[in-house]
Amino acid sequence: MVHYKRVGITVKSGLEDKCQTVDAIVSIVQGAGAQVFMDPKRAGGIDCATDLPEYKSEDEIDLLLVIGGDGTILRAVRELSDCTTPILSVNRGRVGFLAETEFDEAQDLIPKFIHGEGVLDERQLLNVKAMRGSNEIISGFTLNEAVIAQGTIARLVDLETRVNDEPLTTFHADGLIIATPTGSTAYNLSSGGPIVHPSLDAMILTPISPHSFSQKPVVIRSDAKVEIVVKTKQKKYKDTEVILTLDGQVYVALEGEDVITITQDARCVKFLRRKQDTFFGTLRNKLKWGERVD
């Protein structure tokens, strides 16, 4: 019995051997009895997609199959409207930490998923809003992290931070990462932040190269409200440049006294997995967790 009858396919734009890869995946999906719909923004130049229908919104498909790496998955999540459609990812990137299958597993695993053998892994999102006085300069959501950091000028920034309206500290650092448990293994990890299991309802605040040794990462409840006020100091020639980035893909320049508010988003992303918890296996396989370096 076909559980996911309408499968949408999106692919990394710069993927090598894109036509051959998509052609192989399309054949697997169709062979499993499902109908294929292509992402209209990425179907150009793919010969096998010429005669395939396209989906215009996620309510036209039952499953979104993403071919690419973590960046492609983050982009696909950003383009979903309400995040109700499950995502199945085939890794064609470098690490593919968020991906569930490798390309050489697709022939065996994709039909099983389409026939309903997988389980749904729900991941939390963060809602991010930045205000300049009474004007909203950006509003969006992030699966991995929001980053407030210096721009092209190599100067420390001051970020006054409150949690649930209570003062936490003013971070004097290269920047601040506000991450989900999903994003704990991304920029957060490389900046010295903790690995947090994605099943936990948590939010991670990790300063980037803080000037004070006492300013360490802190893990708080996911339903907390975090407010950050940019406190730039007037320099002799130019103000320090500060940038807000969402999942490394959306960014906006900030100014002094801009207020960034981060809360838990009401939506969550649904990933289709082969079993309930693959997190520790992913740590071992993708990050070489615990292996000795000779």
Let me know: does 228 contact 176? Beta carbons within 8 Å: yes
**Catalytic choice (70, 121, 247, 258):** 70
Among all chains, which residue has been given the structure tokens 């995502």? 87
Is 64:88 a contact under the CB 8 Å cutoff? yes
Contact status, residue 154 vs residue 200, Cβ threshold 8 Å: no
Q: Phi then psi for 181, rounded to 5 degrees?
A: -55, -35
Establish whether 70 is a catalytic residue.
yes
Taking CA atoms, 135 is separated from 22, 146, 159, 258, in Å, by 43, 20, 20, 10
Largest interatomic CA distance in the chain = 69
145 to each of 63, 124, 171, 188, 274, how far by Cα in Å?
A: 25, 11, 17, 8, 25
Helices (H), ranges, the chain? 18-31, 70-79, 106-114, 187-190, 279-286
CA–CA gap between residue 291 and residue 240 (Å, rounded): 41
**What H or E segment, with its residue span, contains residue 174?**
none
Catalytic residues: 70
